[in-house]
Structure 1
Amino acid sequence: MARVNATPRRRGAARTDELLEVTLELAVEVGYAGLSIEAVARRAGVGKHTIYRRWPSKAALLLDALSRVWTADLNYRGTGDVRADLREQFLRSAPALATTPIGPVYRAVIAEAQSDEALRATLHEMFLANVEQSTLDRITRAQQAGELVPDVDLTFAAEVLCGALYYRGLLSTRPIDEAAVDSLLDMFMAAYGA
């Protein structure tokens, strides 16, 4: 007589969510260098092919897991006051860079990306480009509403806004606190405010 599993096998979205959760747990325990598709498969109780059907590489798997955790923090509120919206979003998302699972795992990925061009490209495509685009979209709407100077390309401004926070949160020992965010926004508004 065939044995019936007490827990039915998970498929589709539920299996994907489980694999992403296991990936983050392992990444926190062993870091990026110690993470492997095999280890994720073992912990999740699946074959490697189950993972490779969804993600082409360890980097894509881990960055997808990170983006699932952080996606909500990338969305700006739309109050009609660009400075207030930038400030609220930066202060809301900043703690993620300092806490588990995002902070330590993301720092490890950035370190590895310095010597791995494929990982660097994946990191930019899956994460950094989205963060920059979200910020660019918000400040472009502010420009169209007359809050910021017209006829100026804001692409570099979006990179600077995001880059300053990433530098402070990921590469320095200084916090992303209210004073840091306010100083950054003061500079931005002095340069681009209407």
Structure 2
Amino acid sequence: MTDTPRRRGAARTEELLQVTLDLAAEVGYAGLSIEAVARRAGVGKHTIYRRWPSMSALLLDALSRVWTSDLDYRDTGDVRADLREQFLRSGLALSSPPIGPVYRAVIAEAQADSMLRATLHERFLVTVEQRTLDRITRAQQTGELTAKANLEFAAEVLCGTLYYRSLLSTRPIDEDAVDGLLDMFMAAYGTSH
């Protein structure tokens, strides 16, 4: 019997995260509030505050819910193809609802909130860079990339280019952009077989 309330609590948490994403896609960050989420979900504000101390914490959890699985790389044995697939998938996620508008809003809010910026960095950016670094390091170990290269900066540049385009530029993250980025990466770090 003790599992029933826990399941209900987990289901309620999932519902609140989904309501937050739906509402964010409709009204943007400026229109979001704990009160608006509570109203849409048909719960009291205390139900939300028991789980999240602030709107930004709720948004970060909502983003995590939909984005975490999208950060995983496939490993087909072809690093260029795997990076291409991941970057195109990430580019689409960063430019469309629910992730795109919510992520841009959280980034904007983080500029004035150092704790939010640190949390965003720890929960998303470090994860994105680390998963990219892990994938290109495996490629280095199998001989697809030069053996002596330090790939940490390369992972940061690869990821940073996508974020720059999605957050600060009007240029798309499309096939041409991803292919151009990967052509430069492979020219610098690739090996001939």
Shared fold per TM-score greater than 0.5: yes
8 Å CA contact retained: 1:59, 1:122: no
**109, 113, 120: which one pairs with 1:112?**
109
In structure 2, what is the equivalent of residue 7 of structure 1?
Answer: none
1:79 counterpart SS class: coil
- The one of 134, 141, 145 equivalent to 1:148 is 145
Matched letter for residue 87 of structure 1:
R
Identify if the C-alpha distance between structure 1 residues 191 and 51 changes in structure 2 by more than 3 Å, giving closer, same or farther: same
User: Counterparts of 2:189 and 2:173 in 1: how far apart (Å)?
Assistant: 22
**1:103-142 paired onto structure 2 within 5 Å:** 103-142=100-139
Q: CA deviation at 1:163?
A: 0.7
Query: Is residue 73 of structure 1 aligned with residue 82 of structure 2?
Result: no
Question: Are residues 1:89 and 2:89 paired?
Answer: no
Q: 1:141–1:34: structure 2 CA closer, same or farther, 3 Å change rule?
A: same
Which residue is equivalent to 2:28?
31
- Determine the C-alpha separation between the residues in 2 that align with 1:30 and 1:118: 24
Equivalent residue number for residue 51 of structure 2:
54
Q: Measure the CA separation in 2 of the matches of 1:182 and 1:91.
A: 10
Which consecutive residues of structure 2, in runs of 5 or more, have no partner in the other structure? 1-6
Tell me the equivalent position of 2:40.
43
TM-score for both structures, normalised by structure 2: 0.88
Provide, for residues 69-124 of structure 1, a one-character-per-residue CA deviation record: whole Å limited to 9, x for no partner.
Answer: 12222111110111110011111221111111111221121112112112211211
- Per-residue Cα deviation, 1:9-39 (whole angstroms, up to 9, x for no partner): x723211110101111222233223322222
Query: 2:77 corresponds to which letter in structure 1?
Result: G
Q: Comparing 124-133 with 28-37, which one deviates more in the overlay?
A: 28-37
Residues in 2 aligned to 1:166 and 1:97: alpha-carbon distance in whole angstroms = 8
- Structure 2 letter corresponding to 1:131: V
Q: Which amino acid is the alignment partner of residue 107 of structure 2?
A: I
Query: What secondary structure does 1:134 align onto?
Result: helix
Tell me the equivalent position of 1:4: none
In 1: Cα distance, 2:46 partner to 2:157 partner: 41
Residues 30-54 of structure 1: CA deviation (Å, up to 9, x unaligned): 3223322222222222233322332
**Whole-angstrom distance in 2 between the partners of 1:152 and 1:57:** 42
Superposition RMSD in Å: 1.8
Q: Which residue of 1 aligns with 2:4?
A: none
TM-score by length of structure 1 reads 0.88
- Give 1:165 deviation, angstroms: 0.9
SS where residue 80 of structure 1 aligns?
coil
Label 1:81 to 1:52 Cα distance change in 2 as closer, same or farther (>3 A). same
Structure 1 runs of 4+ off > 3 angstroms? none
Residue number in structure 1 paired with 2:171 = 174
